[in-house]
Amino acid sequence: PTFACAAIAPHIEAAASSDSMRLTIYSHHYKSVLEPLSLSGRSFVGGHSTPVKLVSAATEAYYRLSFHVGANHIGEALWNISISQNGTRLYTWANTAGYYGDFSFEEELLGAEGKAAYDQVVAAIADGTAVLNFETAHASVDIPLQASCLTLDDNLASIELGEVPYLLEEDFSTAVPTAHDDDYTASSNSDRNVAGYLLDGYLPRNGWNAARFAIFEGDCIRINCRYQSGAWVVERWCGRLDTPAMSYLKPDASVTVVVEYDEAFYVPAGYNRDDSATAMACYRIGTHSNAESSKLDGCKSDNIASNASIVFTSERFASEDVSAMHSRTQEIASVGATTRIVFFADTGRTTSVVAANAVYYLYLDNIRVYIKN
């Protein structure tokens, strides 16, 4: 015969007539909920012990899914976490406790029906067909689950769900180098190219666009503004960098986001125009909803406002040490799922001289976007 012994320390000295205690017993593979134990007429005095007969009810096999969620970068507490396969939802957990990030939770599945559900979730993750969804008040993020996130120990499956991502993040650490209209020749007096290029394949996430730019492998991106002055007419041709759309947001969402980024300007001496030590370089940040498939050209400085809704114009800078960038934040209101964020390189240099040109390089790195909490 097999026996079980339990030591219980009640939180009261005397129980009401309606009070009862329910105990659950676990073995390695099975679970049993015991018959309720009436506490009527029982007292719990210090140093006193009372033997009680524990009557086992039905015994069921149990299976446990144990999950861990990493840091939350999206800016809002999670609502629901679900796992799906081929469009069919296999499992959903509601975050009624309001956990934000870096927490664990478990799901206990019982009997034959529980085993079937457990096996379905485990099999979908193991063969790479499972999709994880993080849902918040304004965002819904689908992430393919890799088999490496799953650890099996008999009837226990431990699943590392990873971190809740930013709405957008790019640190250029895996960027593939490429450039267009970036080389500067001081004596050249005709450099007005502003053609836009899609960066699909050059950055991990598709949907980026740039004009007058260069990507530095594993490092950063730069865009530039070209100043030209001839016959007393000043032209400023501005490069741009466009992010993908904020597609993790729900279709009807309209939120304020925070944009974090690092920036610095490099301003070499130009031809008959040297602003390397003069604060003339600047940049602008705006938004638009152009399709990610569209190649978006740069433009003249005077036309920037017709290419995007400008939300920020920086102070002016002289040339800086681009190895020590400045960390900045910018809030942007009324952002939806189709909103894209754009940076324009620009200059405040508007005075002219005959036959002069210069270039102003804006370096950008560590771009992150999240919902303002």
Output the CA–CA distances (angstroms, integers) from residue 328 to 52, 253, 258, 261, 264, in the order listed. 66, 25, 10, 5, 10
Statement to judge: residues 360 and 273 lie in one domain: yes
> Residue 306: helix, strand or coil by DSSP?
helix
Statement to judge: residues 5 and 88 lie in one domain: no
CA 297 to chain centre: 28
Statement to judge: residues 81 and 106 lie in one domain: yes
> Residue 122: helix, strand or coil by DSSP?
helix
The 8-class DSSP code of residue 116 comes to H
Strand segments, DSSP code E, in 121-186 are 130-135, 140-144, 150-153, 156-164, 168-170, 178-180
Which value, in Å, is the radius of gyration of the alpha carbons in the chain?
31
pLDDT (0 to 100) of residue 106: 94
Statement to judge: residues 97 and 51 lie in one domain: no
pLDDT (0 to 100) of residue 306: 97
Q: Is the pLDDT of residue 242 over 60?
A: yes
The answer to whether 154 and 63 are in contact (CB under 8 A) is: no
How does pLDDT run across 136-195, given as a tens digit for each residue?
Answer: 999 999 999 999 999 999 899 999 999 999 999 999 999 999 999 998 776 666 788 999
Helices H, strands E: what count in the chain?
1, 27
- How far apart, in whole angstroms, are the C-alpha atoms of residue 185 and residue 290? 32
Tell me whether strands 80-85 and 103-110 are parallel, antiparallel or unpaired. Answer: unpaired
Statement to judge: residues 303 and 175 lie in one domain: yes
How does pLDDT run across 34-90, given as a tens digit for each residue?
Answer: 777 777 777 666 677 767 676 766 788 889 999 999 999 999 999 999 999 999 999
Tell me which residue has tokens 């079937």: 116
Of the three residues 129, 164, 199, the one that is the final residue of a domain is: 164
How does pLDDT run across 43-55, given as a tens digit for each residue?
Answer: 666 677 767 676 7
Determine phi and psi for 228, rounding to 5 degrees: -135, 135
Statement to judge: residues 202 and 279 lie in one domain: yes
How does pLDDT run across 251-286, given as a tens digit for each residue?
Answer: 999 999 999 999 999 999 999 999 999 999 999 999
> Residue 149: helix, strand or coil by DSSP?
helix
How does pLDDT run across 310-319, given as a tens digit for each residue?
Answer: 999 999 999 9
Statement to judge: residues 43 and 191 lie in one domain: no
Statement to judge: residues 208 and 294 lie in one domain: yes
Q: Which H helix or E strand runs over 51?
A: none
Q: Which H helix or E strand runs over 300?
A: strand 299-300
Statement to judge: residues 97 and 246 lie in one domain: no
Length of the chain: 373
Q: Which residues contact 344 (CB under 8 A, 6 or more apart)?
A: 223, 225, 238, 239, 240, 283, 284, 285, 286, 298, 304, 307, 308
Give exposure, 116-140, as e/b (b: 16+ Cβ within 10 Å). ebbebbbebbeeeebbbebbbebbb
The answer to whether 259 and 311 are in contact (CB under 8 A) is: no
Domain span at residue 353? 168-371
% of the chain beyond a pLDDT of 70 = 91
**Interval 1-27 mean pLDDT:** 68
339: domain CATH number is 2.60.120
Q: Is the pLDDT of residue 291 over 80?
A: yes
- pLDDT tier at 1 (50, 70, 90 boundaries)? very low
- pLDDT tier at 365 (50, 70, 90 boundaries)? very high
- pLDDT tier at 24 (50, 70, 90 boundaries)? confident
- Number of domains forming the structure of the chain: 3
Q: Is the pLDDT of residue 240 over 70?
A: yes
- Higher per-residue pLDDT: 20 or 287: 287
Statement to judge: residues 196 and 339 lie in one domain: yes
